[in-house]
């Protein structure tokens, strides 16, 4: 791959210094992922700070989902290294929870909300070991935690989109992990659901967990995240939200397209207010 | 069962067990969204059978040894599965396209080989074409034994791995993020389906086996929203189809057993489509009527004050 200039765009804030820290929940070093020899992620270097809610922000096709999947070993990586609390992911599965995109599964599948949430406990169970009372209790507690205790026995297809998203969140809670990777948990949910989801994420943070969220909406990003990663194949910037989520950096991330939209939106807002 | 002769009892027993196994395997295929895989597998057995015949004759055999033909069918089916997976990965096409490619080309090769075989001395008496539509009446006690073994293995595997299979079918990427052996489980599902297809060759043939995989599973899905209910229900419907089809063809001796079994399975499916609670046509019509009468009913005119 020629024509690539690694140094110029690397403006990452290193919250924990240049040495990859053992303490970092997620430490990524020189990660490159390619499909058909076309790089989707290029030379990613990151140390995610512990005990925070981190947003991954970037345009469509920037590699946001790919980043999560590469960290979880769901897709092959071309080069680089990912470590979770200082060790390879395969050794740390029990510490990591995952929320895939809602559209990635068939919501007409014949299972109840509780059965889906119980899947979060399977990581601790042997292949032939059945889920028992303990797993059920854990799943009930997780469902209660997202306010869906009443829907435990509903078939998942009968739930609204926001409720389905919260079922996925509950399944992640049932994993009792330390680091969570969530792929667009706020996608197409209403404002009330958005608030209830962020409340759950904040509760997780207060318990010392770290949550990494692929996110689309720039308006809410400032409010939701302690730390952001601006991604467009490369890491454009990563660091504390206030310093990183600047107009300039966003323009760099979205390659100019955003500015037009952004300005148009701002003008419309002003017009509405005035 | 005095009113049934021994042969009918053997066929009914074998097809009942086979139907149960097909019902279970069908549920897994359906929920894993790979229903066509059953068809690809079925058609891929034909070149295997023809190849086994040719090898057997070349080695001085009669070409009619059932174990050799079934071994050939298994090899053909497994090569079919591997081809589907390889084509999907290598050519980056969808599952469905890869299965259609394998289905068509394997069956083409099989038919060509069959034509060649039928031109050889003794070839037209080999009875290989009976595998295409099945020939249940020729089933004997050893076929019943084979069907029971397949059914028992199917039930044991599916029951002991219910939790993993449900997770695999519902959310594969979450399953692999948990470190579940997703590939092995997927392979296991395909092996179960292969076993059912090969065991079903004689009863219903390689074309109609797809119907026995898909119909009971779909009917069961219409009747319930629970995975753990759907599986036994599909197994029961598969068994009922097997026994029902055997009985129908024994009372009407001119009707072949395989198609009768599939017809009974289709009948069960239609009944489920109409009468299933919540998802059936009647239940849905009633539900939408009630909804309409509640929301669209003309309001009583408000009194003028």
Taking only the tens place, the pLDDT of each residue in B108-150 is: 999 999 999 988 887 776 778 888 888 887 888 888 888 889 9
Structure tokens, A263 = 């300005």
State residue A15's pLDDT score: 43
Nearest to B224 among A110, A116, A129 (CB): A110
Is B180 in CB contact (< 8 Å) with chain A?
yes
pLDDT digits (tens, 9 = 90+) for B168-219: 999 999 999 999 999 999 999 999 999 999 999 888 999 899 999 999 999 9
Distance from CA of B27 to the nearest CA of A (A): 11
Domain ranges of chain A: 26-273
pLDDT of residue B299: 58
DSSP A74: S
Supply the DSSP string of A34-87, one letter for each residue. Answer: EETTEEEEEEEEEEEPSS-EEEEE--TTSSHHHHHHHHTTSS--SEEEEEETTE
What CATH number should be reported for the domain whose range is B6-208? Answer: 1.10.3470.10
- Predicted confidence at residue B135, as pLDDT, reads 84
Q: What tokens does B81 get?
A: 């599965």
The whole-number pLDDT of residue A259 equals: 54
CATH superfamily of A26-273: P-loop containing nucleotide triphosphate hydrolases (3.40.50.300)
Of chain A, the percentage scoring pLDDT greater than 90 comes to 76
Cβ-based contacts of B229 with chain A (< 8 Å) = 110
| Cα gap A265→A262, rounded to integer Å | 5
- Other CB atoms closer than 10 Å to residue B122's CB: what's the count? 12
Q: Which two tokens stand for residue B259?
A: 């198609």
CB spacing of A125 vs B163 below 8 angstroms:
yes
Query: Rounded to an integer, what distance in angstroms lies between the CA atom of residue A71 and that of residue A227?
Result: 18
Regarding an ipTM greater than 0.90, the answer is no
Within a 10 A sphere around the Cβ of A105, how many other Cβ atoms? 19
Q: What would the pLDDT profile of A36-50 be if each residue is shown by its tens digit? A: 788 999 999 999 999
From chain A, pick out residues whose CB is under 8 angstroms from the CB of B276: none
Question: Average pLDDT, stretch A146-154?
Answer: 95
Q: Is pLDDT at A270 greater than 80 in this prediction?
A: no
At A257 the pLDDT is 61
Mean pLDDT in residue range A136-143: 96
B124 DSSP assignment? G
Closest by CA to B79, choosing from B107, B45, B120, is B45
Contact B134, B15 (CB under 8 A): no
Q: Which pLDDT belongs to residue B61? A: 83
At A16 the pLDDT is 41
> Which of B70, B91, B42 shows the shortest CA–CA distance to B204?
B42
pLDDT per residue over B34-74, tens digit each?
888 999 999 999 999 999 999 999 998 888 888 899 999 99
Q: Give the predicted TM-score (pTM) of the model.
A: 0.87
Mean pLDDT of A196-212: 96
Say if the Cβ atoms of A100 and B173 lie within 8 Å. yes
Q: Using an 8 Å Cβ cutoff, are A145 and A200 in contact?
A: yes
pLDDT of A78 strictly over 80: yes
Q: Is A237 in contact with A260 (CB distance < 8 Å)? A: no
* E-strand stretches of A67-219: 79-84, 87-88, 96-99, 179-183, 210-215
- Cβ–Cβ of B225/A115 closer than 8 Å? no
Please check the confidence at residue B155 and state whether its pLDDT lies above 80.
Answer: yes
Q: Is A222 helix (H, G, I), strand (E, B) or coil?
A: helix
């Amino acid at each position: 791959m020629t024509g690539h200039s690694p140094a110029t765009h690397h403006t990452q804030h290193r919250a924990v210094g240049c040495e990859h820290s053992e303490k970092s929940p997620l430490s990524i070093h020189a990660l490159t992922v390619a499909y058909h020899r076309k790089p989707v992620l290029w030379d990613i270097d990151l140390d995610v700070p512990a005990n925070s809610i981190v947003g991954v922000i970037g345009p469509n096709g920037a590699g946001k989902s790919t980043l999560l999947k590469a960290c979880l070993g769901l897709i092959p990586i071309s080069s680089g290294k990912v470590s979770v609390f200082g060790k390879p992911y395969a050794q740390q599965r029990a510490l990591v929870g995952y929320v895939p995109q809602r559209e990635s599964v068939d919501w007409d599948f014949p299972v109840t909300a509780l059965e889906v949430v119980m899947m979060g406990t399977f990581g601790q169970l042997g292949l032939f070991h059945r889920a028992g009372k303990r797993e059920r209790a854990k799943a009930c507690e997780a469902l209660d935690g997202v306010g869906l205790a009443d829907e435990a026995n509903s078939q998942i297809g009968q739930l609204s989109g926001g409720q389905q998203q919260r079922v996925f969140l509950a399944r992640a809670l049932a994993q009792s992990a330390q680091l969570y990777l969530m792929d667009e948990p706020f996608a197409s949910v209403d404002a009330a659901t958005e608030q209830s989801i962020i409340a759950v994420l904040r509760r997780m943070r207060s318990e010392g967990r770290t949550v990494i969220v692929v996110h689309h909406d720039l308006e809410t990003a400032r409010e939701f995240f302690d730390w952001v990663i601006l991604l467009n194949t490369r890491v454009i910037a990563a660091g504390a939200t206030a310093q990183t989520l600047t107009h300039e950096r966003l323009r760099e991330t979205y390659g100019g397209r955003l500015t037009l939209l952004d300005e148009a939106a701002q003008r419309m807002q002003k017009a509405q207010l005035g | 069962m005095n009113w049934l002769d021994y042969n009918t009892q053997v066929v009914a027993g074998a097809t009942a067990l086979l139907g149960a196994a097909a019902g279970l395997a069908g549920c897994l295929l359906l929920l894993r969204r790979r229903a066509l895989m059953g068809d690809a597998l079925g058609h891929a057995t034909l070149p295997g059978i023809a190849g086994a015949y040719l090898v057997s004759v070349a080695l001085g055999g009669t070409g009619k040894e059932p174990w050799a033909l079934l071994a050939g069918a298994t090899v053909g089916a497994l090569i079919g599965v591997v081809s589907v997976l390889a084509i999907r990965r290598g050519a980056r096409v969808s599952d469905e396209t890869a299965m259609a490619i394998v289905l068509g080309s394997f069956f083409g090769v099989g038919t060509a080989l069959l034509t060649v075989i039928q031109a050889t001395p003794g070839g037209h008496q080999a009875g290989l074409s009976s595998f295409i539509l099945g020939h249940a009446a020729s089933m004997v006690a050893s076929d019943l034994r084979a069907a029971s073994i397949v059914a028992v293995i199917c039930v044991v595997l599916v029951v002991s791995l219910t939790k993993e299979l449900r997770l695999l079918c519902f959310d594969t990427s979450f399953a692999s993020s948990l470190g579940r052996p997703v590939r092995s489980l997927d392979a296991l599902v395909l092996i179960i389906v292969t076993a059912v297809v090969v065991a079903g060759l004689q009863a219903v043939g390689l074309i109609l086996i797809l119907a026995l995989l898909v119909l009971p599973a779909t009917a069961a899905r219409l009747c319930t929203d629970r995975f753990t209910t759907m599986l036994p229900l599909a197994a029961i419907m598969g068994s009922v189809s097997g026994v029902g089809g055997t009985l129908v063809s024994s009372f009407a001796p001119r009707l072949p057993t395989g198609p009768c079994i599939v017809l009974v399975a289709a009948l069960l499916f239609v009944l489920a489509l109409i009468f299933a609670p919540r998802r059936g046509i009647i239940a849905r019509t009633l539900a939408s009527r009630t909804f309409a009468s509640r929301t669209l009913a003309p309001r009583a005119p408000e009194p003028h004050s």
